[in-house]
Amino acid sequence: MDKFVINGGAPLKGEVAISGSKNSSLPILAATLLTPERCVIRGVPDLSDTRFMVEIIKHIGAEAEFKDGVVTVEARKIRTIAPYDLVRKMRASVCLLGPLLGRRRKAKVSVPGGCIIGPRPIDIHLKGFRALGADVRIEKGYVIADGKNMAGGTMFLGGRFGSTVLGTANVMMAAAVTKGTTVIESAACEPEVVDLAQFLVKMGAQIHGAGSPTVTIHGVEHLHGAEHTVIPDRIEAGTFMTAAAVTGGHVTLKGARPDHLGAVIDKLLEAGVKVERAGPDMVVRGEGRREPADVITMPYPGFPTDMQAQFMTLMTITPGISVITEKIYPERFMHVAELGRLGANIALEGSSAIVKGMPKLSGAPIMASDLRASAALVLAGLVAHGQTTVNRVYHIDRGYERIDEKLRALGARIERQK
């Protein structure tokens, strides 16, 4: 099991290329199962999650190859069962339900488990399939769906903590090849949903309104093969922007999409960080005095829950008091105790963290608990005095492509050790 050893204090300087989006790649790869024809997906980041999705696709019966950021899939014949031993390793594999139901009109997919940031039920996914006329039940840990009577329908997919991104994607994929018109109300508006819709349209789907709360799908009989390049990863971009801010650095982000980062940019500006557009690139300057900024995580276009932990790291060394409230996953504060080991002053009050900025953090051994917490702890190590060891970095390898190499190229003193 790998770990990062970081000697903090070096401002990040230089250019970093932003990889393709993990959260776009996974449902788009699943969507290739909707056609027997060849699909080529470019810009796929080389991560443990994307490699695993390719393996699942191959297990189901498709031919798939992943090389140099390009995944080629031909799903001429596919099975309809995704067993527990596969699905348990990656929660996003639940997005296989939509393509299997759409293509084969039946599916048997293991119910994914919870994770360290709290339970993430799939009841809204199942509600959407039932609104399409599918017979769906959970039996012995599996979702068993029969879609022989599926037809277009109208549904509301809002949940307790907002719209569901994977649920919207799942229903959209199934509805694309279901006779009739489907209307999804309270659809997720995230860029990753728009990216999936654009790929489906290239395949021949008729989808309107993606990126808004109302998505309309006119079902077609068949989809064909297509080529597509996934969007840049807005969370990776936000993480490197915050890394530049934390270290007082000067970093140019190549290939980022500022139109996907409005809430993050707004809060960085509020905190005194300089963010500028330079043609197709973004420049972040973290020098100078910072100000505290309160954050409430919300569904897109609000501040993303996947940036909460990284922004908290910035606030730990920002003079004053800031309040960070988690509205998506109220239990997503596992990084707080580890930041405390580095000297951060953070108090938890329900779904809010009250952060009192300290003059400095001090290096120490710390333990990563989940993907975004890992990124926050790495950022803390970059600014902490002395040496920080971040253990269990397999979490970060799920969502950041060669993050240690990219940080080292910017001047960070970070090493990966077994």
The model's pLDDT over 144-181, given as tens digits with 9 standing for 90+, comes to 999 999 999 999 999 887 889 999 999 999 999 999 99
Q: For tokens 């940036």, what's the residue? A: 307
pLDDT of residue 113: 58
CA angle 332, 337, 343 (to 5 degrees): 130
The domains of the chain, with CATH numbers, are: 3-18+232-417 (3.65.10.10), 22-229 (3.65.10.10)
Of 145, 142, 164, 144, the C-alpha closest to 155 is 164
Catalytic (active site) residue 115: yes
pLDDT of residue 117: 47
- Kindly state the tokens that stand for 115: 């994770």
Q: Which residues, 6 or more positions from 405, have their beta carbon under 8 angstroms from its beta carbon?
A: none
Q: 373-392 b/e with 16+ CB inside 10 Å = b?
A: bbbbbbbbbbbbeeebebbb
Residue type, 255: G
Residue by residue, pLDDT tens for the chain (418 residues) are 899 999 999 999 999 999 999 999 999 999 999 999 999 999 999 999 999 999 999 999 999 999 999 999 999 999 998 877 777 777 778 899 999 999 999 999 988 754 544 445 789 999 999 999 999 999 988 899 999 999 999 999 998 878 899 999 999 999 999 999 999 999 999 999 999 999 999 999 999 999 999 999 999 999 999 999 999 999 999 999 999 999 999 999 999 999 999 999 999 999 999 999 988 899 999 999 999 999 999 999 999 999 999 999 999 999 999 999 999 988 899 999 999 999 999 999 999 999 999 999 999 999 998 999 999 999 999 999 999 999 999 999 999 999 999 999 999 999 999 8
pLDDT of residue 120: 55
Q: For tokens 């569904």, what's the residue? A: 299
β-bridge mates for residue 402, sequence order? none
The CB density around residue 11, as the number of other CB atoms within 10 Å, is 18
The model's pLDDT over 35-67, given as tens digits with 9 standing for 90+, comes to 999 999 999 999 999 999 999 999 999 999 999
CB-based contact 242:307 (threshold 8 Å): yes
pLDDT of residue 111: 83
- State the chain's mean pLDDT as an integer: 95
Distances (CA, A) of 245 to 8, 77, 168, 291, 340: 14, 49, 34, 12, 20
Distances (CA, A) of 67 to 2, 43, 90, 357: 24, 10, 21, 44
